[in-house]
Chain A
Amino acid sequence: MANLREVSVIGVGMSRFAKQPEVSIVDLTQAPILDALEDAGVAVGQVQAAYSGSVFGGSSLGQKVLKGIGISSIPILNLENACSSGSSAFREAWLGVASGMYDVSLAFGAEKLTALGGGAFPLSDDIEADQGVLMPAVYAMRARRHMMEYGTTIEQLAKIAVKNHHNSVHNPRAQYQREYTLEEVFNSRMIADPLTILHCCPSGDGAAAVVLAATECSSRLRGKPVKVRASVLQSGLFKNDFRDMTKSDLSYRAAAAAYEMAGLGPEDVDVAEVHDAFTIGELMYYEALGFCAPGDGGRLIDEGATEIGGRIPVNPSGGLLSKGHPVGATGVAQIVEIVNQLRGNCGPRQIAGARIGLTHCTGGGVAGFDHIACTIHLFEQ
């Protein structure tokens, strides 16, 4: 690999995730960027490049957001990569600094799903979407197959929703902030059999931002640095024929690349934010990330290993299921949570002594793909 400089995250910010139709996407996004810059101790004039991730935010969102807060005339990239849009923007911001091109960069993600009228994530221009498939049904098909092949139960899946809603009670930025019981998960409205609505993330609005700097420069800046140990972006492998829907091959591949890049393994991870758009997703990604053996995701949940205080806590923020999933903002918000965890700033949901954190963000529904994109980042305090 080329000689890359070490990069650190030095500032973070995020909006409340919620349905907030009265706020424009520009207003929603400016505040967390300013928060991140303030946290970093970076003046707007020091930002050398900016990367904006969004799926439905419209053209030129980056310039529209940044012009009102004193950032223009620098390189600005507007980026769409389905659910991985924000994390792909972060990855490009990292690359810009790691390559030596810039010393300080900004990445943010933003989405206003209430502008679309709610409901399932709209898929389009696709042979399966044309014929009525919905993202919850894709995950439901994975769930049904995982249950058949490994004996995974709907109770185990529901426990993931209960866990993540429990965690978000202590996250003031989360869309939900209340506990749900297993019975409430079972008895909520059926969406795509066997997944009820509490197995699915909500639709909402939100934005998140991070400031990155070369570690060698970060000592001159105020923000408490958290090192980026690995940054991986991969896309799905197109297949027209058999695919094992119980194994996310894309996430397995991205995880292997990330661990190799960092020289770390799954046993080193103290805390993870994982793409739980649906309960079965979190369970499958436990396996892909190496937190347990393939097929053992249900047992990991039963053991409580992924709860706060467990062996490998997953989604202390509440995850997509409870914190919310404003698509383009999600990947950046995961990084905000991990940076806050590694800085020890998370209050009642803090993972004690967390030193290594992981973020995993994947998505996109196109026929013939597991997902269109996956990003995995590893961080170290």
Chain B
Amino acid sequence: MSAKVYRPENWSGLPLESESAQLVGGRCLSCDKVFFPRFNACPSCASRKPMAEVRLSSRGSLYSYSVIHVNSPGFKAPYAVGYVDLPEGPRVFGHLDGWQNGPVTLDTPVEIYAGPIGKGRDGEELISVRFRPLAAERKSAGGA
């Protein structure tokens, strides 16, 4: 089965091979604000200096999520999506594990890793951001 990484420039390491791959954001060299993903110009101060790459934390806090029960192009239901806030500031969108075991508590800490999220519109397995709840971690690791 072929697989590809969604926007590989957003990762350090090799997300297909390593669970230790980390998200990479950008720090504005003029105003110091951190963004994910990187932008061509700073959305905060409009500086055009190329952003410095910054490795983002692998842990964050689950702000909210929803389990989607309808298929959409490339994504087979049910699947859960959510937002996680990182200590560096950015809020990251990704797919959530662990919801099959019952409701996941909001504000719970999650681990961020690269994993399959569905098939893209071209039918290839897509690797991107996934969240694994830490507080809800159970013996049978009900994740991806």
Q: Is B81 within 8 A of A137, CB to CB?
A: yes
User: Would you call A238 an interface residue if the criterion is a C-beta within 8 Å of the partner chain's C-beta atoms?
Assistant: yes
Q: Is A132 within 8 A of B117, CB to CB?
A: yes
Known contacts A132-B75, A134-B72, A137-B81; is A144 also within 8 Å of B65 by CB? yes
Interface residues in B104-124 (C-beta closer than 8 Å to A): 106, 117-118, 120
Q: Mark A133-162, 1 if CB is under 8 A from B, else 0.
A: 110110011101100100000000000000
Q: Is A192 within 8 A of B67, CB to CB?
A: yes
Measured between alpha carbons, how far is A142 from B63 in the docked complex, in Å?
A: 10
Interface of A is mostly: loop
User: Would you call A101 an interface residue if the criterion is a C-beta within 8 Å of the partner chain's C-beta atoms?
Assistant: no
A-B contact count (CB 8 A): 93
Q: Is B72 within 8 A of A144, CB to CB?
A: no
Q: List 17 A-B contacts (CB under 8 A).
A: A127-B7, A131-B81, A131-B128, A132-B72, A132-B95, A133-B81, A141-B64, A141-B65, A142-B64, A144-B106, A148-B106, A192-B68, A193-B66, A193-B67, A194-B66, A239-B91, A241-B85
Measured between alpha carbons, how far is A193 from B79 in the docked complex, in Å?
A: 10
User: Would you call B50 an interface residue if the criterion is a C-beta within 8 Å of the partner chain's C-beta atoms?
Assistant: no
Q: Which residues of the other chain, B, contact A141 by a CB distance below 8 angstroms? A: 63-66, 81-83
Q: Which residues of the other chain, A, contact B75 by a CB distance below 8 angstroms? A: 132
Interface residues in B51-66 (C-beta closer than 8 Å to A): 63-66
Measured between alpha carbons, how far is A130 from B95 in the docked complex, in Å?
A: 12
User: Would you call A190 an interface residue if the criterion is a C-beta within 8 Å of the partner chain's C-beta atoms?
Assistant: yes
From the candidates B36, B66, B93, name the one contacting A131 in the complex (CB within 8 A): B93
Q: Which residues of the other chain, B, contact A128 by a CB distance below 8 angstroms? A: 93
Q: Which residues of the other chain, A, contact B6 by a CB distance below 8 angstroms? A: 130-131
Top 7 A-B pairs, shortest CB-CB distance: A140-B66, A132-B75, A141-B64, A193-B67, A137-B66, A190-B69, A241-B89
